[in-house]
Structure 1
Amino acid sequence: MSYLKRIIYNCKQATFLIDKKATSRLSFREMIELRIHLYGCSFCRIYKKQSRMINEMVQELFRSSMERDVKLDENFKNELQERIEAELNK
Structure 2
Amino acid sequence: MSELKKIAYNCKKATYLIEKKLIGEITIREKLELKLHLAGCSICRTFERQSLIINQMVKVLFKDGQKHNLKLDNQFKTKLQQRLENELKK
Q: How high is the TM-score relative to the length of structure 1?
A: 0.74
Q: Would you say 1:66 and 2:63 are equivalent positions?
A: no
Give 2:22's aligned residue.
22
User: Identity over the aligned pairs, expressed in percent?
Assistant: 49
Give the deviation of 1:70 after TM superposition: 4.7
Q: What is the distance in 1 between the residues matched to 2:43 and 2:68? A: 37
Tell me the matched-pair count.
72
The Cα of 1:22 is off from its aligned counterpart by: 1.2
Unaligned runs of 5+ residues in structure 2 are: 72-90
3-state secondary structure, aligned to 1:26: coil
Q: Which residue of 2 aligns with 1:34?
A: 34
Consecutive aligned runs of 4 or more in structure 1 exceeding 4 Å deviation: none
Alignment partners' CA distance in 2, 1:48 and 1:61:
20
Which ranges of structure 1 fall in alignment gaps of 5 or more residues?
A: 72-90
The match for 1:9 is 9
1:82 corresponding residue in structure 2 = none
The alignment's TM-score, normalised by the length of structure 2, stands at 0.74
Note the aligned Cα RMSD (angstroms). Answer: 1.5
